[in-house]
Amino acid sequence: MPTSTPSPPAKSRRSLTFLAGFLKNPREVGSVVPSSRTLVRRIMRLGDAAGSRVIVELGPGTGVITKQMLAEATPDTKLLGIEINPLYLRTLQRDIRDPRLTIHRGPAIEIGEALASIGESSADLVVSGIPFSTLPKQEARETLERVRAALVPGGRFVAYQFRSEVRRLADPVFGRGEMHQGFWNIPPMRIYVWRKR
């Protein structure tokens, strides 16, 4: 069941697909290459992915974090990816076949409906790569409200972002979050962590 390390051609193909998605929609994708291994590890550790039964990933892209989370998750983990880019949706569906994963086609704001579709009302962890700085402000605020509503008490919201706009938007919703930086990634990303009180 766990996903193995991809062969170089498969990895290059996914990087090209990612780049093609960026060139078509740069504001929505927000990054030219998928997240680095270092960034993925830090996101998972900060969010306690290994100790989470229900995980939502907003903007899985070509699945670099998705695969790693599945590799480290327990057999009863449910992982829900929410993605809007049709090119990435095709790649995810072709490359990752794992009964623990469900992909919802649509915007992150639909997190509540997407959780209901897998028989869950809440998540332990929400990981997000969607560029909050380029979302329309009202949609960004509403998405964050819905993320908070979807978390269990003590649940974590982990957002890796190039810009700091997310902090201005999310601190009023969750209370002050933590910020982590200083690890290898192109572009340089910060990881923000909020906990639902």
Q: Which is nearer to ligand SAM, 88 or 174 (CB)?
A: 88
Work out the burial of residue 170: count CB atoms within 10 Å of its CB; fewer than 13 is exposed, 13-18 middle, 19 or more buried.
buried
47 binds ligand SAM (CB under 6 A): no
Which of 42, 54, 60, 103 forms a contact with ligand SAM (CB under 6 A)?
A: 60
* Host H or E run for residue 116: helix 111-117
Q: What is the rounded distance in angstroms from the CA atom of residue 57 to the CA atom of residue 129?
A: 8
6 binds ligand SAM (CB under 6 A): no
19, 32, 71, 84: which one binds ligand SAM (CB under 6 A): 84
Which range of residues in 57-65, 67-75, 91-99, 151-159 is near ligand SAM by CB under 6 A? 57-65
DSSP string, 139-183: HHHHHHHHHHHHEEEEEEEEEEESSSHHHHHHHHHHSS-EEE--S
Minimum CB–partner distance for residue 124 and ligand SAM (Å)? 19
Q: Does 44 bind ligand SAM (CB under 6 A)?
A: no
Count Cβ atoms below 10 Å from residue 109 Cβ, excluding itself. 19
| Candidate ranges 8-16, 82-90, 94-102, 113-121; the one touching ligand SAM (CB under 6 A) | 82-90
Q: Report residue 24 CA to chain centroid gap.
A: 20
Closest distance to ligand SAM from the beta carbon of 108 (Å) = 4
List the alpha helices (DSSP H) in 30-110: 37-47, 64-72, 86-95
Site for ligand SAM, rule CB under 6 A: 28-31, 34-35, 58-61, 64-65, 82-85, 88, 107-108, 129-130
